[in-house]
Amino acid sequence: MRAGKRVALLTAAVLAVVAGAGVFVAQSETGEASTVVAKVNGMGITAVEFRRELDNQRTPVIDYFLRTYQANVTEAFWDTSYGGENPEMMAKARAMEELVKRKVELELGSRHGLLSGTAYEDLLEQMDRENKRRGEAVKARQPVYGPVRLEETVFIPYYMSKLRNELKEKVAAADLGVSEEELLRLKALEKSPAPPETERVRFRKLAVSYRGAELMGDGAQANQQETLARLKQQLEQAAGESGETALSRGGADIRVTEEELNGETAGTYFKSQPVLYAVLAGGLQEGQASPVFDEGLQGQLVLVKVLERDKGDSGGGNGGKAPEAAVSLDSLYREYIGQLAAEAEVILSQGYDRIRMK
């Protein structure tokens, strides 16, 4: 798409950091006060935006190094190399990959007339509008799902999920590499939440409720983000512990359960815990842990770790053939976004190198 704009400033180190996307480093910055750490097809990524996503990668990266190298998470963890891999570099690479995908998805939404801006400030403006709508709904005694006020870490995944569903209805069959008839069939299948009956995912779930006294009453809006951040940290610390139904950390009761997603339970999870369903259906592999996410319908912060994932008996009712739903509208759409991200022009500024894991 923009291959002609690639330049020789691309280094092997940066190539290893952001796999799949053409990346080169800007020769200069407009000044130390600039908050832009990268640009994707000309769209800026701010330092705050990058740090938010970097925080989301903390738990999966720690889990990877625990499983792969039995690493001890000490103060020196993020600066230490294990088998040629560095935790901080991996976290930053994964964060940048996710943000590149987000930016090209926002760009696609703008192209289809679904939004007016792709900047971080535009997302925050949308968040303010949503919070105003929720506040007015509460005053009118109308139902509001999830927190009355959404913070950035909760709103952005919520907003992107809604945009993604709208874009699935907009993308052309040619973009997804299928015929018009096949696209219509896949859209019809998309309305059914159940995965193939043969798929089974057993997972450990750690959850803590945020509908406590600290989030109620006067000053709730001011304290909410701090409280959610503390609960999130406690969940991450508890992720390596198991065998108990509840863990007490800093006054918060973390409920630990082992559950299973299968053909019979998928519909229930889809309706009552849609974020958890999306996380498990999104390809989280056996042994991997998710980032901490907000399950608004339950009023919980949740972290899951996949214990076992298999296809079970593939012969049932299908003559041993691969299940039809193995190719879905969602999987084709994600491949398309991945292709757009791989073709994107990504420029890293000097501010990128200054951001460190804390």
230 & 304 share domain:
yes
238 & 316 share domain:
yes
Cα 352 to Cα 72: distance, rounded to the nearest angstrom: 26
CA distances from residue 93 to 89, 106, 283 in whole angstroms, order as listed: 6, 20, 19
Given the structure tokens 């298999």, which residue do they identify? 310
Cα 338 to Cα 100: distance, rounded to the nearest angstrom: 9
pTM of the model: 0.67
Cα 33 to Cα 29: distance, rounded to the nearest angstrom: 9
315 & 347 share domain:
no
350 & 262 share domain:
no
**Residue range(s) defining the domain that contains residue 46:** 3-102+340-354
Are residues 231 and 252 in contact, defined by beta-carbon separation less than 8 angstroms?
Answer: yes
Looking at the 3D structure of the chain, how many domains does it have? 2
CA distances from residue 115 to 143, 159, 280 in whole angstroms, order as listed: 26, 11, 28
Phi, psi (degrees; rounded to nearest 5) at 314: -80, -5
Given the structure tokens 């959610």, which residue do they identify? 228
Q: What is the CATH number of the domain that holds 270?
A: 3.10.50
Token digits for 90? 């991996």
344 & 278 share domain:
no
260 & 300 share domain:
yes
Report DSSP letters for 161-230, one per residue.
HHHHHHHHHHS-HHHHTS-HHHHHHHHHHHT-----TT-EEEEEEEEEE--SGGGSSTTHHHHHHHHHHH
**pLDDT tens, residue order, the chain (358 aa):** 444 333 323 333 333 334 444 444 443 333 333 479 999 999 999 998 898 889 888 888 888 898 899 998 888 999 999 999 999 999 999 999 999 999 999 999 999 999 889 988 899 999 999 999 989 998 998 887 767 777 777 788 888 888 998 998 888 888 888 888 888 888 887 776 554 444 789 999 988 887 653 443 334 444 555 555 566 666 666 655 554 444 555 455 788 899 999 888 888 888 788 888 878 876 677 877 787 787 877 878 888 888 888 865 444 444 444 344 457 888 899 899 999 999 999 999 888 988 988 7
Q: For residue 177, count other CB atoms closer than 10 A to its CB.
A: 11
Q: How far is CA 120 from the centre of its chain?
A: 16
Three-state DSSP at 249 gives strand
Length of the chain: 358
